[in-house]
Amino acid sequence: MTFRMQSRKVTSFITLAVLICTGLSSACITEKAAIKLPSVPLPLPTTSPVAIPFAITPFFTDPAVQGRNAPGWKIINSIVDDINSSNRSVDVAMYNFSLKEIGEALIKATQRGVAVRMVVDSDALDGTELQRLKKTGIHVLGDRRESLMHNKFVVIDREILWTGSLNLTYSGSMEDENVQVRIVSKVLVDNYLSKFTEMFNEDKFGQDSRTMTATTKFVLTGIQVENYFSPEDKIDTRLISLVGSAKKSVHVLAYSFTQDRLADALVKAGKNGVEVRGVFDADSTADNQGADFPGLQKAGLEVRLDGDPGLMHIKAIIIDGKTVAFGSYNFTASAENKNDENVLIITDSALADRFEQAFDRIYQKSNP
């Protein structure tokens, strides 16, 4: 994978031969693609073995850049492009939603006969944009639970996945630090559709009885991908193990951090000679009882509070510059035990490098 860097814009040219094997079967699917940041769904072949497009493209917001050149607009426009190109289905699981541009794209999709379904946290249902979408006939379901439907993912035509820390709101796109990652991979999308169906069709949210995710590990030649959902998949245990595997560095971006066991793993890594650095959202740290930031700082780790007026809303852990864990999952007991959340853990140096660039930018402007 090679990257051509131009200021804050990154164009990636990816040529991958990908072999995907699930942990439940010896059957494998060969995927091969030559992709230049595709913005429209690519056609699925009909023969087997099949050549299925595969791509991972991260997008980061940057509150320091405003106006039409703001990176947030690139995210919004890219999602709109994918929705405008849809011909089958769009499924949205979003904690909060207020972006008119994406709302308009969803309305146009329904007018073309595309099936549009939405799951949101019930506290967001009274928002102007969601009310407008409901009036046009789009199915919008609230979780109606005390816990949060905290996912932030969109699945398009059962092939394209957008997921990360970004709620589809103006503040999230323009004022806060966020990441949203575009992935083209049908086998991974199937996991997200399974969880979406549990919420939308079966009305199962939060602590309602749900089975653990059947397939959590995928091997894409040269790329290892893990996918977990909470509260069913014990994400904290996997993250603790991941931190424990670090040999050189652990870099953390955290909106909310109150998981003592994960904090202990960071301290232990630091004592073992691993470079541990982090940036935590200042407002959330001040508001949260039991926030682990003071303890991490007291232990001598290089942790800082963010320096932005908006939120440092990314939830990510970067291990040894090679592996990234990211998603909607805050590092809290509520995320682990109550809320609907999702996490991806991807081992790919090119992807990790993009996260490291974002981490360095945020760390440099944070408050020591």
Enumerate the active-site residues. Answer: 313, 315, 320
Query: What angle is formed at CA 333 by the lines to CA 328 and CA 336, rounded to 5 degrees?
Result: 50
Residues 98, 202: contact at Cβ < 8 Å? Answer: no
- φ, ψ at 107 (rounded to 5°): -65, -45
Strand partners, 57: 182
Q: Give the containing element (helix H, strand E) for 354.
A: helix 349-364
Q: Which residues contact 186 (CB under 8 A, 6 or more apart)?
A: 44, 52, 158, 159
What are the phi and psi torsion angles at 314 (to 5°)? -70, 145
Give the Cα separation of 220 and 217 in Å (integer).
Answer: 10
Q: Which residue has the tokens 């820390």?
A: 165
Residue 364 Cα distances to 64, 172, 186, 250, angstroms: 13, 21, 38, 16
What are the backbone angles phi and psi of residue 221, rounded to the nearest 5°?
-35, 110
| Structure tokens that stand for 299 in this block | 């232990």
Q: Which residues touch 305 (CB under 8 Å, ≥6 apart)?
A: 279, 280, 281, 282, 285, 293, 366, 367
C-alpha to C-alpha distance for 161 and 163, rounded to whole angstroms? 6
Q: Report helix, strand or coil for 247.
A: coil
How far is it, in rounded angstroms, from Cα 121 to Cα 139? 14
Structure-token pair, residue 149: 């439907």
Q: Quick check: 29 and 229 in contact, CB under 8 A?
A: no
What residues does 223 pair with on adjacent strands? 220
Number of helices (H), then strands (E), belonging to the chain: the values are 11, 18
Q: Which structure tokens are listed for 119?
A: 């799951």
| CA torsion through residues 336, 59, 61, 282, sign | positive
